[in-house]
Protein backbone atom coordinates (compact mmCIF):
# COMPACT_ATOMS: atom_id res chain seq x y z
CA UNK A 1 0.00 0.00 0.00
CA UNK A 2 2.86 2.24 0.73
CA UNK A 3 4.15 1.72 -2.78
CA UNK A 4 0.71 2.37 -4.17
CA UNK A 5 0.40 5.65 -2.21
CA UNK A 6 3.76 6.83 -3.47
CA UNK A 7 2.70 6.04 -7.02
CA UNK A 8 -0.53 8.01 -6.51
CA UNK A 9 1.38 10.93 -4.98
CA UNK A 10 3.90 10.79 -7.73
CA UNK A 11 1.14 10.67 -10.34
CA UNK A 12 -0.74 13.60 -8.78
CA UNK A 13 2.50 15.64 -8.48
CA UNK A 14 3.37 14.90 -12.07
CA UNK A 15 -0.20 15.80 -13.02
CA UNK A 16 0.10 19.19 -11.25
CA UNK A 17 3.34 19.97 -13.03
CA UNK A 18 1.93 18.99 -16.41
CA UNK A 19 -1.28 21.04 -15.88
CA UNK A 20 0.79 24.09 -14.86
CA UNK A 21 2.94 23.75 -17.98
CA UNK A 22 -0.16 23.32 -20.09
CA UNK A 23 -1.69 26.53 -18.66
CA UNK A 24 1.57 28.50 -19.17
CA UNK A 25 1.86 27.19 -22.73
CA UNK A 26 -1.73 28.20 -23.47
CA UNK A 27 -1.17 31.69 -22.04
CA UNK A 28 2.00 32.08 -24.11
CA UNK A 29 0.17 30.90 -27.21
CA UNK A 30 -2.62 33.47 -26.63
CA UNK A 31 -0.34 36.28 -25.47
CA UNK A 32 1.82 36.29 -28.64
CA UNK A 33 -1.02 37.05 -31.08
CA UNK A 34 -2.58 39.53 -28.62
CA UNK A 35 0.67 41.50 -28.38
CA UNK A 36 1.01 41.32 -32.17
CA UNK A 37 -2.51 42.74 -32.59
CA UNK A 38 -1.81 45.55 -30.10
CA UNK A 39 1.45 46.48 -31.88
CA UNK A 40 -0.31 46.42 -35.27
CA UNK A 41 -3.12 48.60 -33.90
CA UNK A 42 -0.62 51.11 -32.45
CA UNK A 43 1.29 51.30 -35.76
CA UNK A 44 -1.89 51.74 -37.82
CA UNK A 45 -3.25 54.31 -35.33
CA UNK A 46 0.02 56.27 -35.43
CA UNK A 47 0.07 56.26 -39.25
CA UNK A 48 -3.56 57.38 -39.40
CA UNK A 49 -2.80 60.29 -37.03
CA UNK A 50 0.11 61.36 -39.23
CA UNK A 51 -1.98 61.14 -42.41
CA UNK A 52 -4.92 62.99 -40.82
CA UNK A 53 -2.59 65.75 -39.59
CA UNK A 54 -1.00 66.14 -43.02
CA UNK A 55 -4.40 66.39 -44.72
CA UNK A 56 -5.74 68.80 -42.11
CA UNK A 57 -2.77 71.17 -42.24
CA UNK A 58 -2.84 71.15 -46.06
CA UNK A 59 -6.49 72.25 -45.88
CA UNK A 60 -5.54 75.10 -43.53
CA UNK A 61 -2.36 76.59 -44.98
CA UNK A 62 -0.30 76.60 -48.16
CA UNK A 63 2.97 77.12 -46.27
CA UNK A 64 5.07 74.04 -47.00
CA UNK A 65 7.25 74.44 -43.89
CA UNK A 66 4.20 74.52 -41.60
CA UNK A 67 2.85 71.38 -43.26
CA UNK A 68 6.11 69.51 -42.70
CA UNK A 69 6.55 70.71 -39.09
CA UNK A 70 3.00 69.73 -38.11
CA UNK A 71 3.39 66.28 -39.65
CA UNK A 72 6.78 65.69 -37.98
CA UNK A 73 5.38 66.88 -34.64
CA UNK A 74 2.67 64.22 -34.73
CA UNK A 75 5.05 61.57 -36.10
CA UNK A 76 7.50 62.10 -33.23
CA UNK A 77 5.17 62.71 -30.28
CA UNK A 78 2.12 60.73 -31.49
CA UNK A 79 -1.01 61.64 -29.47
CA UNK A 80 0.83 64.34 -27.50
CA UNK A 81 1.97 65.89 -30.77
CA UNK A 82 -1.61 65.76 -32.04
CA UNK A 83 -2.81 67.74 -29.01
CA UNK A 84 -0.06 70.33 -29.55
CA UNK A 85 -0.98 70.55 -33.24
CA UNK A 86 -4.69 71.00 -32.40
CA UNK A 87 -3.79 73.93 -30.14
CA UNK A 88 -1.48 75.63 -32.66
CA UNK A 89 -3.21 74.95 -35.98
CA UNK A 90 -4.96 77.76 -37.90
CA UNK A 91 -8.61 78.18 -36.94
CA UNK A 92 -10.08 78.26 -40.45
CA UNK A 93 -9.52 76.14 -43.49
CA UNK A 94 -8.61 77.72 -46.80
CA UNK A 95 -12.10 76.88 -48.10
CA UNK A 96 -13.73 78.72 -45.17
CA UNK A 97 -11.50 81.75 -45.76
CA UNK A 98 -12.40 81.73 -49.46
CA UNK A 99 -16.13 81.49 -48.67
CA UNK A 100 -15.87 84.38 -46.20
CA UNK A 101 -14.08 86.51 -48.82
CA UNK A 102 -16.81 85.72 -51.35
CA UNK A 103 -19.48 86.74 -48.84
CA UNK A 104 -17.66 90.00 -48.11
CA UNK A 105 -17.29 90.78 -51.81
CA UNK A 106 -20.95 89.98 -52.38
CA UNK A 107 -22.03 92.27 -49.54
CA UNK A 108 -19.75 95.02 -50.81
CA UNK A 109 -21.14 94.68 -54.34
CA UNK A 110 -24.68 94.75 -52.98
CA UNK A 111 -23.94 97.87 -50.97
CA UNK A 112 -22.44 99.66 -53.97
CA UNK A 113 -25.43 98.71 -56.12
CA UNK A 114 -27.84 100.35 -53.69
CA UNK A 115 -28.86 103.80 -54.77
CA UNK A 116 -29.18 106.57 -52.24
CA UNK A 117 -30.72 109.99 -52.27
CA UNK A 118 -28.10 112.68 -52.95
CA UNK A 119 -29.79 114.96 -50.42
CA UNK A 120 -30.56 112.80 -47.35
CA UNK A 121 -28.70 109.56 -48.30
CA UNK A 122 -31.80 107.44 -47.74
CA UNK A 123 -32.04 104.23 -49.74
CA UNK A 124 -34.03 104.66 -52.97
CA UNK A 125 -35.01 102.31 -55.76
CA UNK A 126 -34.06 102.81 -59.39
CA UNK A 127 -37.64 103.61 -60.44
CA UNK A 128 -38.32 106.30 -57.79
CA UNK A 129 -39.03 109.79 -59.15
CA UNK A 130 -38.66 111.46 -55.74
CA UNK A 131 -37.03 110.48 -52.48
CA UNK A 132 -39.68 109.17 -50.08
CA UNK A 133 -37.83 110.70 -47.12
CA UNK A 134 -37.06 114.26 -48.21
CA UNK A 135 -39.03 114.64 -51.50
CA UNK A 136 -35.83 115.40 -53.46
CA UNK A 137 -36.45 115.03 -57.20
CA UNK A 138 -34.44 112.01 -58.38
CA UNK A 139 -35.64 111.39 -61.94
CA UNK A 140 -38.02 112.92 -64.43
CA UNK A 141 -40.18 111.32 -67.04
CA UNK A 142 -39.69 111.86 -70.74
CA UNK A 143 -42.43 114.11 -72.18
CA UNK A 144 -42.79 111.84 -75.22
CA UNK A 145 -42.31 108.20 -74.08
CA UNK A 146 -42.80 108.81 -70.33
CA UNK A 147 -39.87 106.64 -69.33
CA UNK A 148 -37.80 107.73 -66.33
CA UNK A 149 -34.68 109.72 -67.11
CA UNK A 150 -31.76 110.91 -65.06
CA UNK A 151 -31.97 114.61 -64.25
CA UNK A 152 -28.68 115.43 -65.96
CA UNK A 153 -29.63 113.80 -69.30
CA UNK A 154 -30.23 116.22 -72.16
CA UNK A 155 -31.76 113.63 -74.53
CA UNK A 156 -34.03 110.68 -73.91
CA UNK A 157 -32.05 107.54 -74.82
CA UNK A 158 -35.27 105.63 -75.49
CA UNK A 159 -37.02 107.93 -77.99
CA UNK A 160 -34.27 110.49 -78.80
CA UNK A 161 -36.35 113.43 -77.63
CA UNK A 162 -34.48 116.58 -76.63
CA UNK A 163 -35.44 116.97 -72.99
CA UNK A 164 -33.05 119.86 -72.32
CA UNK A 165 -35.64 122.28 -73.65
CA UNK A 166 -38.20 121.17 -71.06
CA UNK A 167 -38.33 122.99 -67.78
CA UNK A 168 -35.84 121.89 -65.15
CA UNK A 169 -37.24 120.90 -61.77
CA UNK A 170 -37.53 123.65 -59.20
CA UNK A 171 -35.12 122.05 -56.71
CA UNK A 172 -32.47 121.23 -59.35
CA UNK A 173 -29.37 123.45 -58.96
CA UNK A 174 -28.90 125.82 -61.89
CA UNK A 175 -26.19 125.15 -64.48
CA UNK A 176 -23.31 127.67 -64.38
CA UNK A 177 -23.43 130.43 -66.91
CA UNK A 178 -21.07 130.17 -69.87
CA UNK A 179 -20.59 133.96 -70.03
CA UNK A 180 -17.27 135.45 -68.92
CA UNK A 181 -15.57 132.03 -68.83
CA UNK A 182 -11.79 132.13 -69.37
CA UNK A 183 -10.55 130.27 -72.48
CA UNK A 184 -9.73 126.59 -71.87
CA UNK A 185 -12.17 126.36 -68.98
CA UNK A 186 -15.52 124.66 -69.52
CA UNK A 187 -17.21 126.72 -66.85
CA UNK A 188 -18.46 123.63 -65.06
CA UNK A 189 -17.22 123.40 -61.51
CA UNK A 190 -15.28 120.23 -60.84
CA UNK A 191 -15.66 118.54 -57.51
CA UNK A 192 -14.74 115.18 -56.05
CA UNK A 193 -16.36 111.87 -56.91
CA UNK A 194 -20.09 112.47 -57.34
CA UNK A 195 -21.08 108.80 -56.88
Q: What is the pLDDT of residues 137-182, one digit of tens each?
A: 888 888 888 888 888 888 888 888 888 765 554 444 444 444 444 5
Interval 95-153: pLDDT, tens: 999 999 999 998 888 777 777 888 888 888 878 888 888 988 888 888 888 888 888 88
Q: How far apart are CA 132 and CA 124, in angstroms?
A: 8
For the chain, domain boundaries: 31-113, 129-166
12 versus 83: which is more confidently predicted? 83
Residue 139 CA to residue 131 CA, distance in Å, equals 10
For residue 7, pLDDT over 80 is answered with no
Q: Is pLDDT above 80 for 186?
A: no
Amino acid sequence: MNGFASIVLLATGAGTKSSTTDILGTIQNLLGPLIGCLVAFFVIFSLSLIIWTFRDIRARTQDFLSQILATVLVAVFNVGGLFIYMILRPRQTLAEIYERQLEEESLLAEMTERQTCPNCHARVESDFQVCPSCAQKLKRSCPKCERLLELRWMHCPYCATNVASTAMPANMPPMPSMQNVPPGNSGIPVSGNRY
